[in-house]
Amino acid sequence: MSRPTFSLCHATARLPDGWRAAYEAWRNNCDDWSRVEYILGIDERDLHKTDGTISHHSGNFAVEINQGPSTPVAAWNLTGQRSEGQFLITAADDMFPPPHWDTLLLAACPSLDGEYMLEVKSGTSPADDEWMRCQLHSFITRPYYERIGNFFYPGYVGYYADVDATEMARAHGVMVDARHLTFQHRHWIGTNVARDEVYARQDSDANRELGMRLLGERRERNFAGGNRP
């Protein structure tokens, strides 16, 4: 079997069904689903919420159990390590693609054989460009993923992991401007989406302080070692 073109690596903490709307949007807005693998990362502590139903999926859908820290960064990194696609994307419960997203991304990427991260618009709010133009989700080619070793540096919980990844990609000279593409990030900040218990758990002073400290240390080291611990 040939390697899939795309790996959609989806970290969720909203079981049993909070991930399905995003999954269906990626599938329904895709021109050729046969070239996509979808990997759902769930925390081991949440397994009891699935009632075994998720395992009934088959074909290009897989489930990976995160036995490490119960954080989105850990789950994303796990799904990335299990992926085989030529172009990797960090999907999420609140991330929704435009129609023909696969065709559009292939047209925007100079080559799947080169090291690239695509900078797309997140569509969260009019202030997007003010948020340091950080890449809220990773859209990267396999060669660049192999270079850095993980989607995100493992020390992060969530906050500032995206800023770190964006600054490192700019320092590596691999960023491609694809901001003509909008992927809707329906986060509670900047939208009318409810701040649910998952957002509340992730949105803590401790997580922000950890992220700020780690980002400062990583900047001082010029992101040495990529995203390997």
Map out the domains of the chain as residue ranges: 6-220
> What predicted TM-score, i.e. pTM, was given to this entire model?
0.87
Task: Give the mean pLDDT of 97-123.
Answer: 94
CB 38 within 8 A of CB 110: no
Per DSSP, the three-state class of 29 is coil
What CATH topology corresponds to 6-220? Spore Coat Polysaccharide Biosynthesis Protein SpsA; Chain A (3.90.550)
Tokens of 20: 């399905």
Task: Give the mean pLDDT of 145-159.
Answer: 93
* pLDDT of residue 99 exceeding 70: yes
Task: Give the mean pLDDT of 73-95.
Answer: 94
Model pLDDT, residue 122: 75
Model pLDDT, residue 128: 46
Model pLDDT, residue 91: 93
Give the chain's largest Cα–Cα span.
47
Enumerate the β-bridge partners of residue 8: 38, 89
Kind and range of the H or E run holding 9: strand 6-12
Task: Give the mean pLDDT of 82-89.
Answer: 97
Task: Give the mean pLDDT of 169-195.
Answer: 78
Helices (H) and strands (E) in the chain, counts: 7, 9
Task: Give the mean pLDDT of 24-38.
Answer: 96
Model pLDDT, residue 40: 93
Model pLDDT, residue 135: 54
Mean pLDDT of the chain: 85
More confident residue, 50 or 149: 149
* pLDDT of residue 145 exceeding 90: yes
